[in-house]
Structure 1
Amino acid sequence: MELITLIASVKFGYLRIRMSNQGLIFLPDISGFTQFVNATELDHSRLIIQELLEVLINANEGGLQISEIEGDAILFYRFGAPPTLNEVYRQVEKMFRAFHQNLIAYDNRRYCQCTACKSAGKLTLKVITHYGEFTGYNVQHFYKLIGKDIIVAHRLLKNDIPDHEYWLVTDALSPTGEPAHLANWMTWNEDRQNSDAGDVRYHYTRLTSLKDNLHPDEPPPPDLSKKQLAFSLTRDYSVALIPLFHATGDFNLRSSWMENVTRVEELNHFLPRIGMRCRCVFDNGEEVEYTSSSYHFEDKLIEFTESESSTGNLIYYTIQKISENHTRLRIDYYIPRGWWARYSSRKQRAFLEARFDQSMLNLDTFAKQLQDDQKWCEDEQAL
């Protein structure tokens, strides 16, 4: 088909319309999104969805282009001859497994006990694949797709398939009818949907079996065998368990109570979990990178550890509920056996102990303020 280019100047920018060739439309959609967002805390549900969408984008290995992100879905496309169904399936498999591996990993490493974080594992994925004719156009730096087959693909998201995790293939992409059994677990079902362009016939298969061999990557417990205790500090607070945990465990809040910290730079992760990293910058120019290395949660006890990247020092936080509004925090500061224990001066250790002691005193005021501002209660186990 001859490529026609129309260039026009418009009031709000430069508009270029290209009458397209045919191409693949690849539309992964997060199932359960609406209920998840409506029933959970907006802040963390937003970050969870954002991370999952990025997982899908990073799993793109088929040269797909992104037209737009549509809340809970990504409109991928690729102009050119139709790909083989085996090629499309490999892309579906890659995205589906990456999506669920990320959810499993997050559930196994998350700090947060809020409704959004606890229920994220119920989310899943369906993928609509279609082949048809559409056009792309630019308005300034935005690229959009239009055409009847784009409309068809979107309408196929609103189908009567009772399942919530499946791969849908239209007959335009599989013109010979039922697709081949690309995996031994596949069972294809046939259906059709009415559209302005007429009946759209399609086949679909469940993707649930792709989760069978996904296993959590269990984080190891803190290894103290090569550490020695440098000092231990304990303080009681007139706040509930969760707000004290929120204050101490959230890297972004460190500058509010950690003595001499002027700012915190988040190095990775949107949500608190094992493996998150930050850099604390102190008022004397010192920079210390912390990595969350372990976490354990019970109703009346929370334990988590952090490692200092440059020294190997480890900070062990233990938060214990004494009563409804009475909590105890213990900080155990460990240093590596060997060179640090031999060569660090008593003065250096005294300096670190004084810094943490003052930090725990600062935490008293900050944690109370945080609890008052956030109106925390015991069943709002959020971080």
Structure 2
Amino acid sequence: MSKSLLFIPDISGFTKFVQTTEVEHSQHVISELLEVLIDANTQELELAEIEGDALFFYKEGEIPSQERLLAQIETMFTAFHSHLKLLEKNRICPCNACATAPNLQLKVVAHCGELQYIAVKGNRKPFGQQVIEAHRLLKNSIDSDNYVLISKKLAKEIGLPIYYYSKVFRFKEGKDSYDDKEVEYIYALIDREKLTLNEFAQAKKVVFDRPPDLILDKRFPVPAFELMEFITNYKYRHQWVKGVDDFEFNENEVTRLGTEHVCVINGKHLNFVTVTKEVDVGVLVYGEMTTSAPPLDALYQFYSITPISQTSCSLKSEVYWEAKSPLKKLIIFLFVRRALKKNTQQALDGLYQFINTRPLLS
């Protein structure tokens, strides 16, 4: 029987991350990272199972070459840390989960052997001693949470020297005992600074050289960070924004700069993207803009939240619009401005009503 590859990327710090931060956002962050790792699978590995904070991959009857395996490992670390960089740079949420997400790390364990399989309700996955060994290797004595570990058995199979080194990898020997059986391996700590991180679109702050076209204020009996969550988490929008048939958004994504969502009104789709602008220190700000709301060429709305006490805050809603042609400007002056003011006021009143009957945030 041909040997197979066992490959386990595991997110380090997951348990502490979930236990000490806002649960929903931490779950979203982990879901995003797991999806990033799955998308970074370049060697056509089979995904046997998602194990909370880890992915269990295997390649049946085949082991990639030394070059391909190391390239796969580097690709996953690069994708993982690139996404953490995106979360850090485009963050708008003040919660602990979003603030501490960049501290998460990744460890990868790779092993090989002849596999057995079990089928559970039609799902076939690896089973047996080699699978047990691969998972046990996650519990090791390496003094780091950001590394790759390759069993000596696999290293020998692909001809990987014990002290192999490159720009990204510098392997060392290690060993641990499991059930009185000593298992040897080689490992390399991964320095994020040595990875060539993927580029991403970093949203810029919007700058206006004029006052807002519309300003509305309201005080709310809720902490500033909690009001921010109700505004930025689109699953709550239907509770306080009326006249919208549907809100389309990625339910497994924490809202950040560049995040997109769609408002469906009378069958028309308005595409919004999250933006921001400069505010005073201590003020939370969320903004969104669209270019699909005729007759406007562009519409910007910002929510600036200023803490008053531990249980109250003030919200300032600022609306800017752009229109190039004189005809559009006339239509806006005669009709649109009044409608926007009415809709914005209704939304703030709806938000206030929702706050007073809100579910408690965990």
TM score, norm. by length of structure 2: 0.86
1:193 to 176, 180, 189: 176
Tell which deviates more after alignment, 140-149 or 288-297.
288-297
The 5 A counterparts of 1:55-66 are 55-66=36-47
Map 1:216-255 onto structure 2 (within 5 A): 218-224=202-208, 229-255=212-238
Aligned partner (choices 25, 33, 38) of residue 6 of structure 2: 25
Mapped to 1, the partners of 2:121 and 2:201 lie a distance apart of: 44
CA contact (8 A) 1:100 1:211 kept: no
- Pick closer, same or farther for the CA change 1:234–1:22 going to 2, 3 Å: same
Paired residues for 1:28-47 under 5 Å? 28-47=9-28
2:253 to 270, 275, 278: 270
Partner Cα distance (2:190, 2:336) in 1: 57
Q: What is the aligned-residue RMSD (CA, Å)?
A: 2.8
**128, 138, 149: which one aligns with 1:168:** 149
Point out the more displaced range, 310-319 or 118-127: 310-319
Q: What is the CA distance between 1:323 and its match in structure 2?
A: 4.6
Q: Unaligned 5+ residue runs, structure 2?
A: none
Identity of aligned residues (%): 30
Name the CA distance, whole Å, in 2 between partners of 1:86 and 1:197.
33
Residue pair 1:97, 1:211 contacting (<8 A) in 2 also:
no
Structure 1, 25-34 or 326-335: larger mean CA deviation: 326-335
Q: CA deviation at 1:58?
A: 0.6
Residue 90 of structure 1 aligns to a residue in which SS?
helix
Matches within 5 A, 1:76-225: 76-175=57-156, 176=159, 178-179=161-162, 181-184=164-167, 186-195=169-178, 198-209=181-192, 213-214=196-197, 218-224=202-208
Aligned with 2:329 (options 328, 341, 344): 341
Return closer, same or farther for 1:234/1:42 CA change in 2, 3 Å cut-off: closer
How far did 1:76 drift?
0.7
Tell me the CA shift for residue 335 of structure 1.
1.7
Q: Distance in 2 between matches of 1:40 and 1:323?
A: 22
Shift of 1:307: 0.8
Q: 1:177 and 1:253, CA in 2 relative to 1: closer, same or farther beyond 3 A?
A: closer
How many angstroms apart in 2 are the aligned matches of 1:169 and 1:327? Answer: 53
Aligned counterparts of 2:99 and 2:165: Cα–Cα separation in 1: 34
The 1:97–1:299 alpha-carbon spacing in structure 2 relative to 1, beyond 3 Å, is same
Distance in 2 of aligned mates of 1:302 and 1:87: 46
Partners in 1 of 2:223 and 2:56 — Cα distance? 45
Q: 1:314 aligns with which of 282, 296, 300?
A: 300
SS of 1:68's equivalent?
strand
Offset from partner CA, 1:24-59 (integer Å, 9 cap, x none): 111111111222222223222222211111110011
Question: Closer, same or farther in 2 for the Cα pair 1:256/1:35, shift >3 Å?
Answer: same
Q: Is the 8 A contact 2:28 2:252 kept in 1?
A: no
1:51 is paired with a residue of what secondary structure?
A: helix
User: 1:10 maps to which residue?
Assistant: none
Give 2:315's match in structure 1, choosing from 320, 329, 334: 329
1:298 shift after superposition? 6.7
Q: Decide whether aligned partners of structure 1 residues 290 and 34 sit closer, same or farther in structure 2, where only a CA change above 3 A counts.
A: same
Distance 2:268 2:146 in 1: 50
Residue identity opposite 1:141 in structure 2:
G
Asked if structure 1 preserves the Cα contact closer than 8 Å seen for 2:276 and 2:302, the reply is no
Structure 2 counterpart SS, 1:261? coil
Indicate how the Cα distance of structure 1 residues 268 and 289 shifts in structure 2: closer, same or farther if over 3 A, else same: farther
Name the amino acid aligned to 2:301: I
1:242-301: CA deviation from partner (whole Å, max 9, x where unpaired)? 23323323222222122323442224752121122222234x555433221226687631
Distance 1:36 1:207 in 2: 21
Paired residues, number: 353
* Bigger Cα displacement from structure 2, 232-241 vs 43-52: 232-241
Taking a change above 3 Å as real, the CA distance of residues 26 and 306 of structure 1, as seen in their structure-2 partners, is same
